Chain A
């Protein structure tokens, strides 16, 4: 299988946030990822596309090891996040998940107030009573401001986060990652539950935040992949088929399967 990895960019040598080496993953007997070698550049938006069940989400979930929770998962190979193999025995999962944040398909704020949602991550990572009231107010304001929610929600910080609009909930889910100062943000179809306006809002937000954080986004929406991402990865049946700059991948796909998919002959 021709794995057409990496881009032909002539720019300065890129730093990679995530690198995998011969990553194989099984759910029981079913092999969901086959020899995936990928390098995700730092501080950019990279999108993962492919038909359903091709392993996009599985790959995404490997990077903060949340898929281990489902049981019956075997992983082989190497995943380096920020230069550290995350399957080493000295890696602490809470720290890994603090560094690699995740946004899910359906907005899943915790059933507590907006204010507490934003502080939840910070609270579990710092000793009890560590945060003063003033500090936490400031953190909440900063986080909400950077996702453009502060003006809407500043008077409603005490309402239950699950009662917000979906778009606001999804933005809140991004906002609550920010106080933890993650380096990488994984997004598993973050806009599939949102309408066009909400999608646009989340995309704009990603573009604004892209310089500070590395985004990896799984999407079924190819238009979205073209709009937001700088690089694009096409996967098919657990294998990484093509990884290039987005425009190049969509305009001159090198692998016939990629060509079929991006020209919507299936998928």
Chain B
């Protein structure tokens, strides 16, 4: 029986995994650098007196938020796939991570916002700048905001860290649930026909689970946006009650959060597995 004797080549597998890693790295590092440059170092430090264009600032913020959320969601989805599809349920790493994830995802997102403001931001030396600016008086909210985004590179890491802690556990949890919701018989039949794990994943599991994974991502992002909106709101009302220029940001983030949460509930409503006839 010759067909049973074909050698699976472990070296080939190793090389493929290596290539995948290199590609991932090649994709991630430029993104990382671009993000760092566009948002943090390369933004020209404007003088405090010049009030930057509030609208461009807003979209800059939104872009910044979206790219960070995208990174955090990507990281979370990858992590969930690894946990759910590669590690056996008894594996201690999986159990540890799942426990941590369920604890972290149970914490209200507001607390993460506080975490960001109280712990991460002081380390990045931004709070001091905000205070200096606002103590100058007559500066207005827009420049206050500009200063926040002209902080040094650590600000980027601070925000990323907050986002990772805020978004990732939620994304991991919902992605795992989405993957679990793919009916077992589908996987079984594909495996029994000789499909490899990646073929089963790419051809059946991911297409079926994708809407729910997307919904999870949207929900996590909506949470993050709501927190951001809240903090912008607090910032406006405490520092510059008259200005009104930052309300745009508040509305934008709040609206984004609402739209995302509506989108995610639509996806869940439409695509969650319902017990169907004959399956």
Chain B interface residues toward A at CB < 8 A: 1, 3-8, 88-90, 185-186, 188-196, 199, 203-204, 208, 276, 278-279
Among B4, B5, B194, point to the contact of A125 (Cβ < 8 A): B194
A226 to chain B, nearest CB (A): 27
Which residues in B have their C-beta under 8 angstroms from that of A162?
276, 278-279
**A121 to B4 CA separation, bound complex (whole angstroms):** 16
Contacting residues of chain A (43-76) with chain B, CB-CB under 8 angstroms? 64, 66, 69, 71-72
Determine if A248 is an interface residue (Cβ-Cβ < 8 Å).
Answer: no
B1/A94 in contact, CB under 8 A: no
Q: Taking the nearest CB of chain B, how far is it from the CB of A61, in angstroms?
A: 9
Q: How far is the CA of A109 from the CA of B188 in the complex (A)?
A: 10
Q: Which of B7, B195, B276 contacts A124 (CB 8 A)?
A: B195
Q: Which among B4, B186, B188, B196 has the highest number of chain A CB atoms within 10 Å? A: B4
The answer, among B1, B185, B189, for a CB contact under 8 Å with A82, is: B1
Which residue of A is nearest B88, CB measured?
A71
B4 touches A99 (CB 8 A): yes
A77: interface (CB < 8 Å): no
Q: Which chain B positions have C-beta within 8 A of A109?
A: 189
Stretch at the interface among A132-140, A146-154, A169-177, A212-220: A169-177
CB contacts (< 8 Å) of A121 on chain B: these are 193-194
Cα distance A82–B1 in the bound complex, in angstroms = 6
Q: Would you call B8 and A92 a contact (CB within 8 A)?
A: yes
Q: Which of A67-103 contact B (CB under 8 A)?
A: 69, 71-72, 81-84, 86, 90-99, 101-102
Q: Which residue, A102, A111, A164, has most C-beta atoms of chain B within 10 A?
A: A111
Q: Is A4 in the interface zone, CB < 8 Å from B?
A: no
A71-B89, A108-B188 known; A95 vs B6 contact (CB < 8 Å): yes
Does A110 sit within 8 A of B, measured CB to CB? yes
Q: A92-B8, A99-B4 are in contact. Are A110 and B204 (CB under 8 A)?
A: yes
Q: How far is the CA of A51 from the CA of B31 in the complex (A)?
A: 60
Determine whether the beta carbon of B278 is less than 8 Å from that of A166.
yes
Does A261 belong to the interface (CB within 8 Å)? no
In angstroms, Cα B208 to Cα A93, docked, is: 25
B1:A71 contact, CB within 8 angstroms: no
Give 14 pairs: A residue, B residue, CB < 8 Å, sorted on A: A94-B196, A95-B4, A97-B194, A98-B193, A101-B192, A104-B189, A108-B185, A108-B188, A110-B189, A111-B204, A120-B193, A164-B278, A173-B189, A177-B193
Q: Mark A175-200, 1 if CB is under 8 A from B, else 0.
A: 01100100100000000000000000
Residues from chain A with a CB closer than 8 A to the CB of B8 are: 90, 92-93
- A177 → B minimal CB distance (Å): 7
At the interface, yes or no: A163 with Cβ under 8 Å from chain B? yes
User: Please, which residues of chain B bring their CB within 8 A of the CB of A64?
Assistant: 192
